[in-house]
Structure 1
Amino acid sequence: MRVSRRSILKGSALAGAVAATPAMAAMARSAPVVVFDSRIPESVAFAASQSAHMRFDLAHGTEEAARAIKDLRAVTGLTRWSDWTALRGVMEAQGLRLSEEIRAAAPLSGRTHLFRWTITAR
C-alpha cells in the first residue's frame, strides 16, 4: 500500500467524523432543559432519566413552560401531541428548530399519543 498525503488526510477526516458522532449524539440526548407531564408515568420516568439543569412540568400549564423557555439552546421532552404542537410553535418563533421527533410507545399507561422530541438552536 502506498501512503500519500491524500490518504492521510482522508484517514484523519474519517477518524474525526467517527469521534465526533458519539459526542454529537450525547449532546442531543442530554439537552439542558426537559419538558414533561407529571400526570403521565412514562413522561415522569423520561424526565428522571435525563440529566438536565431545568425541568418544566406541563401539569402546571403549557403557557408557563412556554414563557420560561426563552434563550435556550436545546429542549427535549416526552409529551402528548397537543402539548408538543403548542410548545413547538413558541420555540420555533424563538429561532429553535426541530432536530428529533419520535412517536413513543407507552406501555405503563397504554397511551399511544406520546411524542419524544428535541428542538435545538441552529
Structure 2
Amino acid sequence: MRVSRRSMLKGSALAGAVAATPAVAAMASPVPLVVFDSRIPESAAFAAAKDTQRAIDLALGAADAARAIKFPQVVTGLTRWSDWTALRGVMEAQGLRLSDEIRAAAPLSGRTHLFLWTMTAR
C-alpha cells in the first residue's frame, strides 16, 4: 500500500481533531463497513485485520452485498475492479463519495487487479 501526501494530511488533521475533544473523537471514527472477497487471500486477510463486526463477503454474492449496504458512514474494501465498480454505483446513490482508491499489490497470489478503496458519507 502506498502512502500519499493526501492521506498523510488527512491523518494529521484527523489526529488533531481527535486530540481536541472527546466529542470530535467519537464522531471522527465511525466503525467502517468492510467489503471483501474470501476467495482472495489478500482480501480475506484485509478483512481479518480490520477486526470489525460489520463485514460483507462478496463470495456470498454481489447482489446480496449491494442490498446489505444500507447508509453506512464509512465503507472500505479490498476487491477486484469489477466488484468495486459494481458496488460504487450503489454506494454513490446512497450519498457516499470516494475518498481513497489505490491499486493494491497482492504478494500472496500475484494478482494485480485488486483495489483498496474507501467511501465516506458527505
TM bracket (short chain): 0.7 to 0.9
Which shifted more, 31-40 or 80-89? 31-40
Matched, 1:20 2:11: no
| Corresponding position of 1:12 | none
Structure 1: stretches of 5+ with no match in the other structure: 1-16
Instruction: State the secondary structure of the residue aligned to 2:51.
Output: coil
After TM superposition, where is structure 1 displaced by more than 2 Å over at least 4 residues in a row?
Answer: 20-23
Pair 1:31–1:80, CA change in 2 (3 A): farther
Give the distance between the partners of 1:89 and 1:21, measured in 2 at CA.
31
Question: CA offset at residue 71 of structure 1?
Answer: 1.6
Q: Secondary structure at the match of 1:106?
A: coil
Give the number of the structure whose alpha-carbon radius of gyration is greater.
1
* Contact 1:32 1:51 (8 Å CA) reproduced: no
2:70 matched to which residue of 1? 70
Tell me the TM-score normalized by structure 1.
0.76
Q: What 5-or-longer segments of structure 2 have no aligned partner?
A: 1-12, 20-24
SS at match of 2:55: strand
CA-based RMSD of the aligned residues comes to 2.2
Q: How far is the alpha carbon of 1:61 from its aligned partner?
A: 1.2
Using the alignment, how far apart are the partners of 2:31 and 2:41 within structure 1?
20
Contact kept? 1:33, 1:74, Cα under 8 Å: yes
In structure 1, C-alpha distance between the alignment counterparts of 2:31 and 2:80, rounded to whole Å: 19
Structure-2-length-normalised TM-score: 0.76
Match of 1:41 in 2: 41
Question: SS of the residue aligned with 2:109?
Answer: coil
